[in-house]
Amino acid sequence: MAHIAQFTAAEAAFVLREPVRTVKKSLDLGPVRPVLVRRAGAPVRAIEWRDLFYLYAVRALRDELTPKARSEFYEALHQTPVELRDEVRFGRFRVSVRDLVQEVERRTSDLAALAEKVEFRADGEPLLKGTQVEVYRIAALLDGGASIEQVLEDYPSLSREHVETAKAYAEAYPKAGRPYPRTSVKRALQGAGLEALDDA
């Protein structure tokens, strides 16, 4: 399977299950070589699948590779397509990578599947598929401290999977521009003691 996709730091963080700031630091430190790509009209750093695989592999092998060996491993990955072999050889090392490749492929498939759970309004705003509810609105509520159960109370048409999708999508594809409020109108009214207005 050829890997030609490029991944932003946020997408890589989703695959690696790490905070975006940790991934950005890895891109700053090297040896990974990010390139600038345009996403949503703005230039962002992105890495190829091989670089993403390297970041995953060095975390899995952190106790076995010295800093020098990591650099050699990176260069070896860029000389022969890793997906075409079971191991990577460099210096006196042979590293079995089949299980690591399979795991990164599984995780990048999860990222692709996430995109399938979202559809877009005419203005480009992502909506939870089959609803008219904005992905980033739900993610903002979770960021504001609401539990999944509280979100489901405020949006009874949504399922738990919808809410989890919103959270994951917003992490992998952060919202540009003005954020959504971190509390729902219903909870804001309750907090102000104006519950009766909500029923009016």
Q: Which letter, b or e, does each residue of 76-95 get, where b requires 16 or more Cβ atoms within 10 Å of its Cβ?
A: bbeeeebbeeeebebeeeeb
pLDDT-derived band at 1 (thresholds 50, 70, 90) equals very low
Class of domain 6-115: mainly alpha
Write down the pLDDT at residue 42.
82
Q: Is the peptide bond before 34 cis (omega within 30 degrees of 0)?
A: no
Q: Which fold has domain 117-199?
A: Arc Repressor Mutant, subunit A (1.10.10)
Q: Using the predicted structure, report yes or no on whether residue 2 has a pLDDT greater than 50.
A: no
Residue ranges of the alpha helices (H) in the chain? 9-16, 20-29, 49-60, 67-77, 98-116, 135-143, 148-154, 160-172, 185-191, 195-199
Nearby residues of 148 by Cβ (< 8 Å), 6 or more positions away: 142, 160, 163, 164
What ranges do the domains of the chain cover?
6-115, 117-199
> What is this structure's pTM?
0.79
* H or E element in which residue 65 lies: none
145-197 per-position pLDDT tens digit: 999 999 999 999 999 999 999 999 999 998 877 777 777 666 655 555 545 44
Which CB contacts under 8 angstroms, 24+ apart, belong to 142-148? Answer: 142/166, 142/167, 143/182, 144/181, 144/182, 144/183, 145/182, 146/183, 146/184, 146/187
132-145 per-position pLDDT tens digit: 999 999 999 999 89
